[in-house]
Amino acid sequence: MESASDLELIAAINAGDDAAFEVLYVRYRDWVVGLARQFTGCDSLANDVLQETFLYFLRKFPGFDLSSQLKTFLYPAVKNYSMNAHRKLARFQSGSDGQDEIDRLVAPPSPLGASDDIAAMLSGLSEDHREILMLRYVDGLSMAEIAEATAIPLGTAKSRLHHAIVRVRQESETRGCSQF
């Protein structure tokens, strides 16, 4: 069953096969946690987002019809649950007591173990530009899939990617990096 396609597994889940859901869970859990960690900057919040995302996905059955890649379907859920978790954490801030710990927990992490130079360069980008770069070059989504996942027009997605790349090149030139 592990070699079955996402569409085959979804058809099996719609038919009542619980083991097929477990295969999809195992297939995508690391991606969901990694993406949630990028949004939240916190492992425990990322694990909470993992649970919320797959509960949301499970509630779609029976009758779920996948019309794109599963990553494209899951991405908005992961992003929304991550932002909600981040907001809940911010609500529990109480003055300056423990503020340093909260700031450390919600600071954006270095993506995928990036070097300090790359992490600094990415942190200088807007959230929209960083998101587009990560979806395209880390998650490998096509431009159409990025547009669908982020609920923006295809032209806007292309424009953001272009501007992000221009910005990365400018940043890397000013820092003397030859990687970009």
Same domain for 54 and 14, yes or no, is yes
Same domain for 44 and 127, yes or no, is no
The domain tally of the chain equals 2
pLDDT value, residue 122: 72
The residue ranges of DSSP E strands in the chain, in sequence order, are: none
Same domain for 84 and 150, yes or no, is no
Please report, for the domain that includes residue 150, its CATH number.
1.10.10.10
pTM of the predicted model, to two decimals? 0.68
Same domain for 119 and 179, yes or no, is yes
- Of 73, 108, 143, the residue at which a domain comes to its end is 108
Q: Which two tokens stand for residue 84?
A: 């909600």
Report the alpha-carbon distance of residue 11 to residue 68 in Å, rounded: 14
- Of 81, 108, 135, the residue at which a domain comes to its end is 108
Angle at 120 between CA 151 and CA 71, to 5 degrees: 30
Same domain for 137 and 79, yes or no, is no
The boundaries of the domain holding residue 61 are 1-108
CB 143 within 8 Å of CB 157: yes
pLDDT value, residue 110: 46
Please report, for the domain that includes residue 39, its CATH number.
1.10.1740.10
Same domain for 14 and 78, yes or no, is yes
CB 23 within 8 Å of CB 52: no
Residue matched to tokens 């700031």: 103
pLDDT value, residue 113: 47
pLDDT value, residue 11: 96
- Of 108, 128, 156, the residue at which a domain comes to its end is 108
Same domain for 72 and 118, yes or no, is no
Question: Cα-flanking dihedrals φ and ψ of residue 23, to 5°?
Answer: -65, -45
Same domain for 146 and 73, yes or no, is no
Question: Cα-flanking dihedrals φ and ψ of residue 94, to 5°?
Answer: -125, 90
Per-residue pLDDT of the chain (180 residues; tens, 9 = 90+): 889 999 999 999 999 999 999 999 999 999 999 999 988 888 899 999 999 999 999 999 999 999 888 999 999 999 999 988 878 877 765 444 554 544 444 444 444 444 556 666 677 788 888 888 888 887 788 899 889 888 899 999 999 999 988 888 887 554 555 444
* Contacts for 134 with CB less than 8 Å, ≥ 6 apart: 38, 111
Residue 97 pairs in a beta bridge with: 94
